[in-house]
Chains A and B, each alone.
Chain A
Amino acid sequence: GESVGLHLPTLSVQEGDNSIINCAYSNSASDYFIWYKQESGKGPQFIIDIRSNMDKRQGQRVTVLLNKTVKHLSLQIAATQPGDSAVYFCAESSSGTYKYIFGTGTRLKVLA
């Protein structure tokens, strides 16, 4: 719940603006990446994923960009809405390991 977000960086955006949330991943061998959204008191919810053979993938109002050169992942949310307010975090995995490494997350606050 709320206690999870106590030490998180916060991004505040105006309703209707676009949001960009960034994530630096750690393992050069990682080839699969996921973005999750977590609302207070709930479990992480899958948003979008991308494999390392892609640089960009689009979903409904969301786009994930992958820069393997600098090991950076970003999540773009178009026309941010109040319901987008949550903690967002990325996860990385490499084929055959069956394990995932999770970032600590960014809190997105949508201002009316």
Chain B
Amino acid sequence: DAGITQSPRHKVTETGTPVTLRCHQTENHRYMYWYRQDPGHGLRLIHYSYGVKDTDKGEVSDGYSVSRSKTEDFLLTLESATSSQTSVYFCAIRETSGLDTQYFGPGTRLTVL
């Protein structure tokens, strides 16, 4: 599992509330990613990070922000949650020691009512 944990694993919240999801890794990987997974779509990239305080947008970044103040933690924030952000969110790391393999965390199921 490449030492990736996500918290919380499940969350139900109301429209308009802020939500922060946490991804934690224990193996000092430089690259970290946040994806969302919805029926009928492949995994879609929200934001990614290529180092501490270095982040960039993915294809579905609107309504999301991220922060990476430490190598091991990558936070995803929904400033004001909407029902369209109901999804399963996955964090991933990219190994750079050999091939460019991505490994995923267990996911967070978020429901916005």
Contacts and interface: CB of A to CB of B under 8 A. Distances in A.
Interface of A: 1, 3-7, 32, 34, 36, 41-46, 49, 51, 89, 91, 93, 95, 98-105
A98 B54 CA distance: 13
A44 B43 contact: yes
Contacts of B105: 43
Given A7-B40, A89-B42, A1 B99 contact: no
B5 to A, nearest CB: 11
Contacts of B88: 1, 4
A10 to B, nearest CB: 14
Contacts of A46: 101-103
B33 to A, nearest CB: 8
> Max chain B CB contacts within 10 Å: which of A3, A32, A34, A100?
A100
B42 A102 contact: yes
A4 B37 contact: yes
What are the 7 closest A-B residue pairs judged by CB atoms, nearest first? A102-B42, A43-B104, A102-B43, A7-B40, A6-B39, A44-B104, A43-B106
Interface residues of B, number: 27
Contact of A49 (B41, B50, B101): B101
Given A6-B40, A41-B107, A91-B102, 11 more contacts: A34-B102, A43-B1, A43-B105, A44-B43, A44-B104, A46-B102, A100-B43, A100-B102, A102-B44, A104-B40, A104-B42
10 contacts: A4-B38, A4-B39, A42-B106, A43-B105, A43-B106, A44-B43, A95-B100, A98-B94, A98-B100, A105-B42
Contacts of A5: 39
B45 interface: yes
Nearest to B102: A100
Given A44-B90, A46-B103, A103 B39 contact: no
Contacts of B37: 4
Nearest to A42: B106
